[in-house]
Amino acid sequence: MKTVKDYIRTIVDFPHEGIMFRDVTTLFADPRGFRMAIDQMLHPFAGQEIDKVVGLEARGFILGGAIAHQLSTGFVPVRKKGKLPGPVISEEYHLEYGEAVVELHDDAITAGEKILVVDDLLATGGTAAAGIRLIERLGGEIVGCSFIIDLPALGGRKKLEAMGMEVETLCAFDGL
């Protein structure tokens, strides 16, 4: 029987030499694989109250929309700077080379709402941590973070757990 990891292809030296890019588009393209991933991402949070799913740009939108549909909840995107219309709050974070900014509509989450954060890949945890800070600034209560892939060597899980987050992943890959 195939696992979620079996549906993910690795592209060597993309986008730069030395990087092993973990491509989830092959997982998304397969109906059984995609269903398996969504079901497994939801499983650890079964029975918990979840008011909204927050998806991190960009593949988190695909996963978050499907998970929100399964839960019959709302979906909220955390986007790169300048992509959301209307009033937003912003959070800057560090990348390997430089800085980036993510944004959230300032009325997207009501204080006290229970939030599940989702994305495809947990690497350094920078984007997820920035998204978490935005949610918390609006008073959202994060029930957990769910990812398909963990790259343990980059320390993202430890970073999010140090923030008090429950982190669930479906598979892990060694290296970068």
Residue 74 lies in a domain: yes
Residue 111 lies in a domain: yes
Residue 10 lies in a domain: no
Residue 115 lies in a domain: yes
Residue 60 lies in a domain: yes
Residue 155 lies in a domain: yes
Residue 71 lies in a domain: yes
Count CB neighbours of 155 within 10 A. Answer: 14
Q: Enumerate the active-site residues.
A: 59, 96
Tens of pLDDT along the chain (176 residues)? Answer: 999 999 999 999 999 899 999 999 999 999 999 999 999 999 999 999 999 999 999 999 999 999 999 999 999 999 999 999 999 999 999 876 789 999 999 999 999 999 999 999 999 999 999 999 999 999 999 999 999 999 999 999 999 999 999 999 999 999 77
Separation of alpha carbons 59 and 154, rounded Å? 19
What contacts 55, CB < 8 A, 6 or more positions away? 61, 62, 63, 64, 65, 75, 76, 77, 78, 118, 119
- Residue-range definition of the domain harbouring residue 150: 48-172
Model pTM? 0.96
Separation of alpha carbons 150 and 174, rounded Å? 9
The domain that holds 147 is classified in CATH as 3.40.50.2020
- Cα 45 to chain centroid distance, Å, stands at 15
Residue 124 lies in a domain: yes
How many domains, in total, are found in the chain? Answer: 1
